[in-house]
Each structure stands twice: as structure tokens, then as C-alpha cells.
Amino acid sequence: MKPRLLAVVPLGDCGAYVEFSRTLDLEINAFVQRLGAALEADTPPLLRDIVPAFGGLALHFAPEFDGDVLEAARELVERRLKAGVPAAKGAGRLVEVPVCYEPQFALDLKEVSESRNISGEELAALHCAREYRVLMVGFAPGHGYLWGLDPKIAVPRRANPRAEVPAGSVAIANEQTVVYPYAISGGWSVIGRTPLRIFDAARAEPSLFLAGDRVRFHAIDAAEFRRQSEAPA
């Protein structure tokens, strides 16, 4: 199946969103990531950002760009589509994330597991059993939208979002799981915390997650959490 370009729509007056799907389609999502990578290899000077999203690509131009943004975006993408988008190379990078599911970090674990009629240990085990895919990185630095949650532990968003969720918190909602890069407000259920830094501007690769990565979680205890801890306070 070759994904079809649905539309090129304005993203403000300096950007364009090149749309391939309006729903969540894993195959198109993977294609969009490969298309983004192929475009990165040969970007015109005033194209500042190429952002793969769930079903399309955002292209952000500098305000100095004087041409027709929509036309430029369409031309760039169509040229790339004609030349061919490289096939996937292997299964993608695997990122292993240690998580402490103990009560001091797992603020909502009890509530979620009770609502699903399972124990906290079972919930943690189900969260660790699956392999997740990073469909998109966005919202905040390093914030990955990880897809693939076991439907047995899928819960809706919380009615009352927390004003501040600590950095490194691992949370779930619907079919997704996320790791909060910084202490920010959040409406997802927090089931654990990782000692890893999700985004570190000083690292060669600042973001722990990149779109297209595979992710696995594994449980650690509080002592191991402290030992590995590199998350900002």
C-alpha cells in the first residue's frame, strides 16, 4: 500500500501540514516517519523544522521565506514521493526504560488497578509485558506518545488533572502511555516513575525517545531507582 497525500494545509503563515491520514493508522505513521527522515537528508535553507506527527508531517519555514509555503511544501513532498521513500531498516531502535512502580511514585496505581480488578503487581507486569511504539514526539521536549497499551489496563483520562506531575512520571490513558519529561500538569493516571532523564539538552541525543522507536519498560525497586536516578528534582 502506498499512502496517498490527502491535503496540504496551512500551519500558520510560515508552515504547512502535509496530511496522509486523519485517523491513527500505524502503517501510515511509520511511513510518515520515514518520509520525514528522507526529507531531512536534503532540506532547503529556510525550512527550519520537519515534524512527523501521527498521520502527517509539519514543515515549518523561517519567516524570511518569501515564497508560497503550501506550494513549496507540496513540491518538496511530491518530489520525494516520486523519488521513493526508503523502506524501513529493521525493526527500529529499542529503548529500555526502568520504572519503579512502588506507591511513593505510582500515585494512581491503586485506583487504576482497583478499577480494573487486578492487583498493583499485575498492572505493573502488564505494563512491562508489551512493546510500545513511539508514534510521535511532541507537546513538551522528549514527550513521546507511546502506543500499544494492553486494553486490560486502558483507562480514560482523569476527570481532575493534577496541577503538577513530577518529572519522570510514567502515566497511562486510553491505549497510550507517556513519560513526563518535566514537572508539568497532567490528566493521565500515574503508575510509576523512571529515574532516567527524558530530555537533556547537554546530551548528544537530547531526547530519550525518537519517533519510530520501540520501547520496553522493566520494573525496578526504590533502591535501584535512587541508584540510577538522574532525573531533575
Partner 1 sequence: MRPGLLTTVQDHGRHGHQHLGLCPGGAMDPVSLTLANVLVGNAPDDAALEITILGPELVFEEDTLVALSGAEFPGGFPRHRPVLIAAGTKLAIGRAQRGARGYLAVAGGFALEPVLGSRATYLPGRFGGFHGRSLRRGDLLPLRGDVAALSKERFLRLKRGKGRTVRWLVAPLTLPEHEPVVLHAIEGPHCASFDAASQRAFFDATWKIAPESNRMGFRLSGPALVRADGGEILSGPTCLGTVQVPASGAPIALMADHQTTGGYPRIAEIATADVPRLAQIAPGGTVRFARCDLKTAVDLRRDLKARLAPALRAIGWEYGG
Find the binding residues for partner 1 in span 25-44 (CB under 8 A).
Answer: 36
Give the residue, chosen from 105, 132, 199, 217, that forms a contact with partner 1 under the rule CB under 8 A: 199
Find the binding residues for partner 1 in span 90-129 (CB under 8 A).
Answer: none
**By the rule CB under 8 A, 188 interacts with partner 1:** no
**By the rule CB under 8 A, 186 interacts with partner 1:** no
Give the residue, chosen from 100, 137, 178, 196, that forms a contact with partner 1 under the rule CB under 8 A: 137
Give the residue, chosen from 44, 86, 156, 232, that forms a contact with partner 1 under the rule CB under 8 A: 232
Neighbours of 195 (CB within 10 A): 19
Rounded least distance, CB 120 to partner 1, Å: 29
Interface with partner 1 by CB under 8 A: which range of 10-18, 72-80, 92-100, 123-131?
10-18
Number of residues that bind partner 1 (CB under 8 A): 49
Rounded least distance, CB 57 to partner 1, Å: 8
Give the residue, chosen from 8, 28, 35, 50, that forms a contact with partner 1 under the rule CB under 8 A: 50
Return the HEC string of the chain.
CCCCCCEEEEECCCEEEEECCCCCCHHHHHHHHHHHHHHHCCCCCCEEEEEECCCEEEEEECCCCCCCHHHHHHHHHHHHHHHCCCCCCCCCCEEEEEEECCCCCCCCHHHHHHHCCCCHHHHHHHHHHCCEEEEEECCCCCCEEEECCCHHHCCCCCCCCEEEECCCEEEEECCEEEECCCCEEECCEEEEECCCCCECCCCCCCECCCCCCEEEEEEECHHHHHHHCCCCC
> 164 or 221, CB closer to partner 1?
164
Rounded least distance, CB 167 to partner 1, Å: 10
**By the rule CB under 8 A, 197 interacts with partner 1:** no
**By the rule CB under 8 A, 14 interacts with partner 1:** yes
